[in-house]
A and B are shown apart, each in its own frame.
Chain A
Amino acid sequence: MKDVRLLHQPFLPGSLIGPFTNSNPGLGGVCTFVGEVRSGDRDDPQGPVEALELSHYEPLTLEGMQTLADAALERFDLMGLLMVHRVGVMHPGEPIVCVSAAARHRRGAIDAVDFCMDHLKCAAWFWKRERRASEKGGEWRWIEPRADDYADLERWK
Chain B
Amino acid sequence: MAVTVLFLGPLRDLAGEPSRKVTAPLDWAGLLQAVGPEVAAQLGEERVNVACAGRVLGDKTALQAKDGDEVALLPPVSGG
Contacts and interface: CB of A to CB of B under 8 A. Distances in A.
A128 B54 contact: no
Nearest to B9: A127
B80 A125 contact: no
Contact of A125 (B6, B13, B70, B77): B77
A54 B9 CA distance: 9
B9 A142 contact: yes
A125 B79 CA distance: 7
Interface residues of A, number: 24
A126 B77 contact: yes
B60 to A, nearest CB: 14
Interface residues of B, number: 17
Given A60-B54, A127-B8, A97 B79 contact: yes
Contact of B79 (A59, A60, A126, A142): A126
B80 A97 contact: yes
A120 interface: yes
Contact of B10 (A97, A126, A127): A127
A35 B79 CA distance: 10
B74 interface: yes
A27 interface: no
B56 interface: yes
Interface of A: 35, 54-55, 57, 59-60, 85, 96-97, 117, 120-129, 142-145
12 contacts: A55-B8, A59-B51, A59-B54, A97-B79, A122-B76, A124-B79, A125-B77, A126-B77, A128-B79, A144-B78, A145-B77, A145-B78
Which 5 residue pairs of A and B lie closest in terms of their CB atoms, listed nearest first? Answer: A127-B9, A126-B79, A59-B54, A121-B80, A142-B10
